[in-house]
């Protein structure tokens, strides 16, 4: 693809008088280096072995790749790296109940076809074992199913259950027989032996108890809800399924079984069928009697704290603007009261030993690094284990302000505003004079923005921009009325909420009307494309990260194991299986209105993205090129739905920073060496962003694989 932006803008243009005036307050503070915000942290993902004798975390190894480290509790100087990933880094892991094995998931290049791996932490010299060594899925003819690229379709494994009652075994789900459904297997850790626990050609989700009995299974129904069945078969015998409950579309995301306590006699559920927000409910499995444990009329129930000895839920979190915990078991109240005195921030217990004597506790703030402590419960003493990123200390970080914005039809949009340092001298949440703003739209859309440390918000504010994050309708956590108000409202009422938030910011003199950008990933990338096509006069520019451009092709190319959820998606987004649905989806697709784009656009895409295929980006870039519309297109051949490798993150944010500086007038750190080690390719528009073409030439990392 040839470049469409022929004019090279020099760095001096970025620092003209107008830009300097807009960024005057931020200019009084030093630039926070991008690698501090978006590079690898010092540590993250702290956990405990179940016997409480070992602590673990993820940190960069000698080559800078994120791997798992383990140390004896109280002897951190003896920490050793136990995994040896050489590319994407470990993102999630867990201790097996044998206190010997750490399990983790890894895919290839972001394809999300996960494998389960195990490492013996006491014999780190032993090789990491692939416990799900399947490279393809057979079709009806027995031959491997292939992707359009000609590569075999790989299974996507998942860890379905772990239990202290079976410390040497775990339950894994594998779609290596039928790509749409996961069979359940009992996996023996010492040998790697897989034994079929349940062959499955129907169910999309399961609840498994501590004895590894499959107790409940869910089937998406044609109405977009879920039908749940209970297993009435004898323990150890074949499953026998009877109806348990049926949940409609409006309640499908708030009403569901959570799991059993360790006795198997009490079921915990999220229940919202009779109320707007979901409650935490316990059910006596023998009698069916239920009891509400906690509920908030503003928001749905969130995370839970569970007694590791009994499986009883002891506390549940709720989050409107900020998170709080509702304590159900008075025995932990003194612990939580003490922990609140240890450090500033929101408290979360992220791991507990099996005897409940040792906890791992994190403290989250909005303007600094997270801190993680080990907590000796009998002694009521917390000891700092690590600060996740010491380089953030003494940086000019700012506070994140929760704000509630009214939509045009009267809905409350819980949002978060981060202003440039020094711009709000009196602390009233409004800068002394309007500053350029970036509307940063979350993905999902069935997710939410939250208060806390946000590297993107801190980066934007440090460069002289206000960052506004909006929980638009369909965002989760605010009750079913709010969530379902987004059904079939992509590019309609959901987008209206974003425009209402921009209008609010302009009316409050937070931002000038002509200096607002829109940016986001996944659904946020789609919202960016909608912003530049459906409301082309609102935004000065847009940054689309792995966002769909054509809803028909998006829904027709979902991963096979997402297929059971298509009825639900059809009723929330639109139905690609009918002519009427296809026409509707076309009317909500930015690609349909590509000729409306009049503002600069930057697109970032992972070539291996299984959710939003790279063709979503390719087709809108091609359409823009055919109409001579300006676009800069960045592709990573070794990434999927987002950019996992830190070198790739740094390179993309370097491009984005230069792009925003050109079109909004904020500050920028030169690209420098931020392309080194990255797989970045720029098939279109490299000359349209200052410094990109030169950095590409210097790094020599461009690859034809993504073209």
Q: Which residues are catalytic?
A: 522, 609, 641
CA angle 11, 12, 13 (to 5 degrees): 90
Look at strands 437-441 and 466-470 and give their pairing.
parallel
Q: Which helix (H) or strand (E) holds 55?
A: strand 54-60
Q: Mention every residue, 6+ apart, whose C-beta is less than 8 A from residue 111.
A: 154, 608, 610, 640
What is the DSSP track for 342-373? Answer: TSSSEEEEEEE-TTSSEEEEEEE-SSS--EEE
Q: What is the DSSP letter of 168?
A: T
Torsion angle, alpha carbons of 314, 318, 324, 330, to 10: -20
Rounded to whole angstroms, how far apart are CA atoms 226 and 204?
A: 9
Per-residue HEC secondary structure of 427-450 comes to CCCCCCCCCCEEEEECCCCCCCCC
Count of all residues that appear for the chain in the document: 707
First vs last C-alpha separation in the chain: 8
| DSSP SS3 for 101 | strand
- Closest among 371, 370, 350 to 359, alpha carbons compared: 350
Rounded to whole angstroms, how far apart are CA atoms 338 and 349?
A: 13
Backbone angles phi, psi at 559, to 5 degrees: -60, 150
- Quickly tell me which residue has 């999630």 as its tokens: 92
Rounded to whole angstroms, how far apart are CA atoms 579 and 585?
A: 10
Q: Note whether 188 and 196 are within 8 A (CB).
A: no
C-alpha 442 chain-centroid distance: 9
Other C-beta atoms lying within 10 Å of the C-beta of residue 99: 18
Q: Note whether 326 and 318 are within 8 A (CB).
A: yes
Q: Note whether 411 and 500 are within 8 A (CB).
A: no
Rounded to whole angstroms, how far apart are CA atoms 527 and 493?
A: 12
Exposure of 399 in the CB half-sphere (CA atoms within 13 A): 12
Q: What is the DSSP letter of 276?
A: S
Backbone angles phi, psi at 113, to 5 degrees: -90, 80
Q: Which helix (H) or strand (E) holds 37?
A: helix 34-38
Quick check: bond before 244 cis, omega within 30?
no
């Amino acid at each position: 693809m040839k470049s469409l932006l022929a004019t090279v803008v020099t760095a001096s243009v970025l620092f003209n008088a107008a830009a300097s005036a807009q960024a005057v307050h931020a200019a009084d503070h030093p630039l926070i280096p991008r690698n501090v915000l978006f590079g690898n942290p010092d540590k993250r993902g702290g956990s405990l072995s179940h016997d409480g004798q070992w602590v673990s975390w993820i940190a960069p190894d000698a080559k800078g790749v994120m791997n798992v480290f383990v140390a004896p509790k109280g002897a951190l100087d003896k920490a050793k790296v136990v995994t040896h990933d050489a590319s994407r880094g470990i993102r999630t892991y867990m201790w097996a109940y044998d206190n010997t094995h750490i399990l983790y998931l890894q895919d290839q290049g972001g394809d999300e076809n996960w494998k389960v791996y195990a490492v013996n932490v006491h014999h780190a010299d032993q090789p990491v074992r692939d416990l799900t060594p399947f490279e393809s899925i057979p079709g009806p003819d027995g031959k491997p199913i292939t992707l359009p690229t000609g590569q075999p379709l790989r299974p996507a494994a998942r860890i379905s259950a772990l239990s202290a009652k079976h410390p040497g075994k775990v339950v894994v789900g594998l779609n290596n027989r039928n790509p749409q459904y996961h069979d359940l297997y009992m996996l023996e850790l010492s040998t790697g032996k897989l034994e079929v626990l349940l062959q499955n050609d129907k169910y999309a989700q399961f609840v498994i108890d501590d004895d590894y009995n499959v107790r409940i299974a869910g089937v998406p129904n044609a109405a977009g809800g879920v039908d749940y069945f209970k297993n009435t078969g004898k323990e150890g015998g074949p499953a026998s399924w009877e109806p348990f409950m049926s949940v409609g579309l409006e309640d499908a995301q708030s009403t569901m079984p959570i799991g059993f306590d360790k006795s198997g006699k009490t079921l915990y559920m999220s229940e919202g069928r009779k109320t707007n927000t979901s409650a935490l409910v316990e059910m006596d499995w023998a009698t069916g009697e239920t009891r509400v444990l906690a509920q908030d009329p503003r928001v749905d129930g969130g995370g839970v704290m569970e007694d590791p000895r009994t499986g009883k839920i002891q506390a549940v979190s709720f989050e409107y603007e900020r998170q709080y915990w509702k304590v159900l078991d008075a025995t932990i109240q003194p612990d939580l009261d003490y922990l609140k005195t240890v450090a500033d921030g929101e408290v979360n217990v992220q791991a507990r030993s099996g005897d409940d004597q040792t906890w791992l506790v994190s403290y989250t703030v909005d303007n600094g690094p997270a801190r993680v402590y080990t907590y000796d419960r009998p002694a009521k003493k917390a000891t700092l284990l690590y600060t996740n990123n010491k380089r953030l200390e003494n940086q000019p970080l700012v506070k994140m302000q929760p704000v509630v914005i009214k939509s045009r039809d009267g809905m409350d949009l819980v949002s978060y505003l981060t202003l440039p340092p020094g711009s709000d001298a009196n602390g009233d949440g409004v800068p002394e004079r309007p500053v350029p703003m970036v509307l940063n739209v979350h993905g999902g859309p069935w997710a939410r923005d939250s208060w806390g440390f946000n590297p993107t918000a801190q980066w934007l504010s440090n460069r002289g921009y206000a960052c506004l994050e909006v929980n638009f309708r369909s965002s989760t956590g605010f009750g079913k009325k709010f969530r379902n108000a987004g059904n079939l409202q992509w590019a309609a009422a959901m987008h209206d909420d974003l425009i209402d938030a921009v209008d609010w910011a302009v009316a409050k003199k937070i931002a000038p009307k002509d200096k607002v950008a829109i940016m986001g990933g996944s659904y946020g990338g789609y919202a960016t494309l909608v912003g530049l096509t459906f409301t082309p006069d609102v935004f000065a520019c847009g940054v689309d990260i792995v966002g769909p451009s054509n809803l028909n092709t998006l829904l027709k190319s979902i991963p096979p194991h997402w297929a059971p959820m298509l009825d639900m998606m059809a009723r929330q987004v639109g139905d690609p299986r009918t002519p009427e649905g296809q026409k509707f989806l076309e009317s909500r697709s930015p690609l349909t209105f590509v000729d409306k784009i009049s503002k600069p656009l930057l697109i970032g895409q992972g070539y291996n993205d299984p959710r939003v295929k790279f063709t979503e980006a390719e087709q809108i870039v091609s359409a823009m090129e055919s109409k001579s519309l300006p676009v800069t297109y960045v592709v990573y051949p070794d990434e999927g739905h987002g950019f996992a490798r830190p070198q790739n993150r740094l390179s993309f944010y370097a491009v984005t920073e230069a792009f925003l500086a050109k079109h909004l007038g904020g500050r920028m750190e030169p690209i420098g060496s931020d392309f080194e080690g990255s797989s970045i390719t720029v098939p279109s528009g490299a000359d349209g962003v200052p410094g990109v073409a030169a950095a590409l030439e210097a790094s020599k990392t461009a690859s034809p694989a993504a073209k």
